[in-house]
Chain A
Amino acid sequence: MAKVAEIIHQVEDHDAEVRTGLDHALTQAAKFFAWAIFVAFLISVVEVVSRYVFNSPTFWAHETTSFLIAAVFLIGGPVALARDKHIRVRMFYDAVGPKRKRVLDIVNSLIALVFFGGLAFASWIMVSKSWFTPTGAFHLEGTGTSWNPPTPALLKLLVLICVVVMFVQTLLHLIAAIRRPADPAAPVETGAE
């Protein structure tokens, strides 16, 4: 029975593949960002209590929770990428030898770079529209409520940041894959073909 507990623990902490320094930094940063979920949880409870017990719903809880969770969703992308946790269909990938696997890694990184590059371009347009009016004046897009926090503008910027981070992560993975020896027994220095 203890063995299963170990397996579970291992799944969560050890078999993640942290490949580069940036990935490591993101894994560390995740420990800070994750508290946003805790804050969102506390705010939800505060809203329920003040509404149900004191009959005075807050004007800020709903939008703040939405913002925090949306930010968590976005940041989760690079963090999961850092630990190689994104879901893949590995049937074919696991069946090939190290040499082909390296080629696949390179091709996949290149494809992913196209994806993140395209997203970065599109996010850039989205961000500029939410930070500036059509006449070019600086104005943060808000939620449009009476409170009107500028969370849409901030989240749109966060989309751009996360996409750019994932672009750089992938670029580093690509470099690592190119440098990796095609023959896993060979030392790294002589690895490049």
Chain B
Amino acid sequence: ADYEWTFQTSETAGEPGFVNKQKWADDVATLSGGRIAIEILPIGSVVPHTDTLDAVGAGILQGHLTDPSYFSGKDPAFAMMGNLVGAWSDPFELLGFMQSGGGNELYSELVEPYGVKFIGAAATEPEAFVSRLPIRTVEDLKGVKLRAPEGMVYEIFSKAGAAPVSLPGSEIFSALDKGVVDAADNTVFATNQALGMNDIANFPLYPGFHSLPMIDVSMNKQIWDGLPEDLQEILLTSVKQFSFNHIYSVRQLDASAVEQAKANPEIEIINWSGDERAKFRRIAQQEWQNWAPKTAMTQRYYDAVTAYLKGRNLL
């Protein structure tokens, strides 16, 4: 191959996201007639997940496919753009905003100073919620000890009356199992079901309502600038292809996992009504307003998202 690159992802090797990202790399190889060979590595293989942006900029990695929230410590705009909690309940809404609401342009502008070229966005199905307690309404969140990760999630759940606990990913299982926490914000339903999360916490909330992270596919800008136009076009197009493939594949996996969970009489899947989802979104919106004035970029992003959501009659 003319170009041999290493891209690091934000998933472990077993997660559906990782497998689909490998398929994307295969597609790029095929479409480019073997001129580009990309090796896809799992989370933490070369640098910690919080450092891939710098590593791509420095050319240590040639690219990454990751969740921008991991860079929130560098700039609050990453937290908002990576996972605007409560904003999206369908990945195509997020992709629509990226494509036609100004999202792509803003995100490109955000990462460019780091020496990184944003190729395109993908998204996953809304993340599921695992819980030991039946949480049927926003009201039920009151006093629930729930694990929340970095970003905006913590504050929003706190506003909704819950008692958020910060715990690293490797502690979630044991903490839920023994009841240190009552619920946890974790990945998609299919993965939770496979990991046995729903067996120890019997009241999963699905489809999720809170978290729908963006997947950022980016590469080193210097390498990008040196690419012939046809290869640039192949990369741009293949990422769009990847975003479709990924959504449909997770949908299918979720569906069969839901069927499996339904067959288990001990598991009750809870699906929030539209009213409850709207209630939660209104709480989340207050927190968006708190984040908006942090920088010029967060304000522009906030304005763009609210304009898009209003135009779609979602706000």
Contacts and interface: CB of A to CB of B under 8 A. Distances in A.
A contacting B, Cβ–Cβ less than 8 Å: yes
Interface of A: 51, 55-57, 59, 62-63, 129, 133-135, 139, 141-146, 148, 152
Contacts, number: 63
Interface string B126-139: 00000000000000
Contacts of B69: 144
B20 to A, nearest CB: 26
Contacts of A143: 73, 150
B114 interface: yes
Contacts of B29: none
B34 interface: no
Interface string B58-83: 00000000000111111110110000
A166 B49 CA distance: 28
Interface residues of B, number: 30
Interface in B75-130: 75-76, 78-79, 113-115
Contact of B73 (A51, A59, A144): A144
A145 B150 CA distance: 5
B113 A134 contact: yes
B163 A56 contact: yes
Contacts of B152: 146
Interface in B127-168: 143, 145, 150-152, 154-155, 158, 163-167
Contacts of A145: 72, 150-151, 154, 166
Given A134-B115, A146-B155, A62 B167 contact: yes
B163 A59 contact: no
B139 to A, nearest CB: 17
**Chain B CB within 10 Å — which of A59, A129, A134, A142 has the most?**
A134
Interface of B: 50, 54, 57, 69-76, 78-79, 113-115, 143, 145, 150-152, 154-155, 158, 163-167, 180
A97 B158 CA distance: 67
A76 to B, nearest CB: 20
Given A144-B50, A152-B50, 14 more contacts: A55-B163, A57-B145, A57-B163, A59-B154, A59-B166, A62-B166, A62-B167, A133-B75, A134-B114, A139-B74, A143-B73, A145-B166, A146-B152, A152-B73
B70 A144 contact: yes
Q: Which 6 A-B pairs have the closest CB atoms?
A: A144-B72, A134-B113, A144-B73, A146-B155, A142-B73, A62-B166
Contacts of A56: 163
A178 B79 CA distance: 54
Contacts of A152: 50, 73
B196 to A, nearest CB: 24
A148 B166 contact: no
A68 to B, nearest CB: 15
Contact of A55 (B72, B143, B151): B143
B84 to A, nearest CB: 14
B165 A51 contact: yes
30 contacts: A51-B145, A51-B163, A51-B165, A55-B143, A56-B163, A57-B145, A57-B163, A57-B164, A57-B165, A57-B166, A59-B154, A59-B166, A62-B165, A62-B166, A129-B54, A133-B75, A133-B113, A134-B113, A134-B115, A135-B113, A141-B74, A142-B73, A143-B150, A144-B73, A144-B74, A144-B150, A144-B151, A145-B150, A145-B166, A146-B155
